Amino acid sequence: MALTALAVHDLAEAVLGCVCAALDATAEAVEGQPGCPCRGCVVPGTAAWDSCDDPCGPSEGTGGQLTVNVARIYPSSQTSFPAQDQTVQGARGCTPPPVTAVELVITFLRCAPTVSDDGCPPSCEELSQASRILHIDEVTVYNALLCCLPQTGGGRRGRKFVIGAQRTIGPEGGCVGLEQRVIVALPGCRCPDEGVS
């Protein structure tokens, strides 16, 4: 075993916490900007677009959906991260890579203006307001990774990571948002002794 059993899940939870805290801080600083949605979770596989407008039922809250999922896990090295290490394994027992790369996907959705009951398109004012919220969300998520993620590693140097391209997703089904990818280096550890499960 090259990683501890909870290493990947703990990383995903830490990223979710960083992004949510940054969204709430931005909402306090920017008038009219909604904060972290009450539907925020680490999800298995690609995020389903389950909710972008429901503020969690009867209690008041912020609508939207924030999810973090794992896209892939692969071996890397200290010198070539984030490139995939192609070293053949198995020749000498358990020889874990010095670095395991984990690619996470942050998906964030909010309501998008849609056609009215009369069949009229959204007004330019509605579209402009939705764009403003989305653009602020995009910068906030990006900054959250830059500023908070290094501190989640616990070591002196923080985590090594590479921020991937961010893209706007939607509008579709009344939702619009963003998808942000990040590749994070997790340090390897020694293999357990023979016979230990």
Label residue 12 exposed, middle or buried (CB < 10 Å: 0-12, 13-18, 19+). Answer: buried
CB contact set of 88 (below 8 Å; sequence gap of 6+): none
Per-residue pLDDT, 166: 98
Strand, coil or helix: what is 171? strand
Can you give the pLDDT at residue 157? 75
At residue 57, φ and ψ (nearest 5 deg) are 95, -145
Q: What is the CA radius of gyration of the chain?
A: 20
pLDDT at residue 59 in the model: 56
Strands 65-76 and 40-42: parallel
Q: Mean pLDDT per segment of 10 residues, for the chain of length 197 residues? A: 84 97 98 94 93 61 91 92 85 74 97 90 95 98 95 79 97 93 85 51
Contacts of 31 (CB under 8 A, 6+ apart): none
Query: Which phi and psi angles does 90 have, rounded to 5°?
Result: 100, -10
